[in-house]
Amino acid sequence: MRDLTFPDVAQRIETDLMPLQVEGLRLTFDGKTVLDGLDLTVSDMGCTVIMGPNGSGKSQLLKLIHGLKRPDAGRIAWNGRAATAVTARQALVFQKPVLLRRSVAANIDFVLKARRRDRSLRDSVLEHVGLADKARQPARQLSGGEAQRLMLGRALATEPEVLLLDEPTASLDPASVLAIERIILRARERGVKVFLVTHDMGQARRLADEVVFLHRGRILEHAPADEFFPEPETQPARDYLNGRIVV
Ligand SMILES: Nc1ncnc2c1ncn2[C@@H]1O[C@H](COP(=O)(O)OP(=O)(O)OP(=O)(O)O)[C@@H](O)[C@H]1O
């Protein structure tokens, strides 16, 4: 992937959506508590990595703070604004790419049109995610890593102030993982606030400015990365980092 400067995708942004404040957040499914009264304040820019064992509630937390679903109880505020009021100023990328059965370029065009953004941005977005040479190819023919880069391109085409990423590199090869991490880092450097769910310890250490550790629907730790990784305070976090089963 070439390193170029793109006027729109590379533009520095200043968001007024921070801090994120979560109070008493509760989510249940059929009477089962999935998130159990979470309190969380994220004030800093950079990358907040959300970690924790399978089923600890990471994906549900991302969906709630993005305003995609409503909690059973509690409050979410992005600098005082309700999550549902600012969804369009954010982008969420899931683990599994969800692409239109059209060309790579048409997948970007679709988003630009929906957001009434200049179509000319498409080429710079595709360059940015290293897919310019595949613009006319059907999106369904992309490899897993390429498809995920297209998903990131679609997300960036909306010029999000907050990027929410749910295991964006699961099952990708090391080169694809690094390509995606470079895109994430560039967004972060431009002032996009990043929330990243990952089980990849190397990735978490490479990208995290701070870590939120979830366990059984509760936040056990919220700490700067340079404190969390060398010295997690709780046993479940220590076990998780050491690869022991803590579910
Ligand atoms: N639609 C649903 N109906 C019932 N339970 C659900 C539903 N979606 C999620 N859950 C439950 O909510 C809990 C939290 O799920 P979530 O996907 O947030 O976990 P996670 O921490 O992201 O896990 P993983 O690391 O495996 O992706 C799990 O116990 C899951 O089974």
CATH number at 137 reads 3.40.50.300
pTM strictly above 0.90: yes
Number of domains observed in the structure of the chain: 1
2 inside domain: no
Rounded alpha-carbon distances, angstroms, from residue 181 to 47, 191, 197, 208 = 11, 15, 13, 11
11 inside domain: no
Segment 45-61 shows an average pLDDT of 97
What are 192-209's pLDDT values in tens digits? 999 999 999 999 999 999
7 inside domain: no
Which mutation among 34, 70, 95 tests ligand 1's pocket best, with the greatest number of atoms within 8 A of CB? 34
What are 100-110's pLDDT values in tens digits? 999 999 999 99
Whether 7 has a pLDDT exceeding 70, the answer reads no
40 inside domain: yes
What are 109-147's pLDDT values in tens digits? 999 999 888 888 899 999 999 999 999 999 999 999 999
How confident is the prediction for the chain on average, in pLDDT?
Answer: 93
Q: Are 247 and 55 in contact (CB under 8 A)?
A: yes
12 inside domain: no
Q: Where are the alpha helices (DSSP H) in 69-173?
A: 83-86, 104-114, 121-128, 144-157
Residue 56, ligand 1, Cβ within 6 A: yes
247 inside domain: no
1 inside domain: no
Whether 5 has a pLDDT exceeding 50, the answer reads no
Q: Whose Cα sits closest to atom 5 in ligand 1?
A: 29
* DSSP SS3 for 64: helix
Which of 8, 225, 216, 26 lies closest to 124, judged by CA?
8
| Residue numbers of the domain that contains 121 | 20-242
169 inside domain: yes
pLDDT for res 2: 38
